[in-house]
Amino acid sequence: MERNRETACQILEVFEELLDKYNIVINSEDRKEMISSGEDNVAAIYGEEYFLLEDKITNILDE
């Protein structure tokens, strides 16, 4: 099962690269907080949205 979580993170990395290529970001409260605190290098999929996607992908791989 841990292997599936690692695979889920690898899949998300592929999507991160694609979104970055087209300068697309997924807006979220977590992202807004990081940017407002001065962080300017926040991933395209960040915070709660990232972890929700990671969990969903992991669940699919576990089935």
Confidence at residue 50, expressed as pLDDT on a 0 to 100 scale: 95
- In the block, which residue shows the tokens 């969990």? 55
Higher pLDDT among residues 30 and 3, named by residue: 3
**Contact assessment for residue 30 and residue 11, using Cβ atoms and an 8 Å cutoff:** no
Confidence at residue 1, expressed as pLDDT on a 0 to 100 scale: 77
Confidence at residue 32, expressed as pLDDT on a 0 to 100 scale: 86
Cα distance between residue 8 and residue 38, in whole Å: 29
Residue at 12: amino acid letter = L
Burial of 23 (0-12, 13-18, 19+ CB in 10 A): exposed
Per-residue pLDDT tens over the stretch 14-62: 999 999 999 999 988 888 888 888 887 788 999 999 999 999 999 999 9
Confidence at residue 34, expressed as pLDDT on a 0 to 100 scale: 84
Cα distance between residue 50 and residue 59, in whole Å: 14
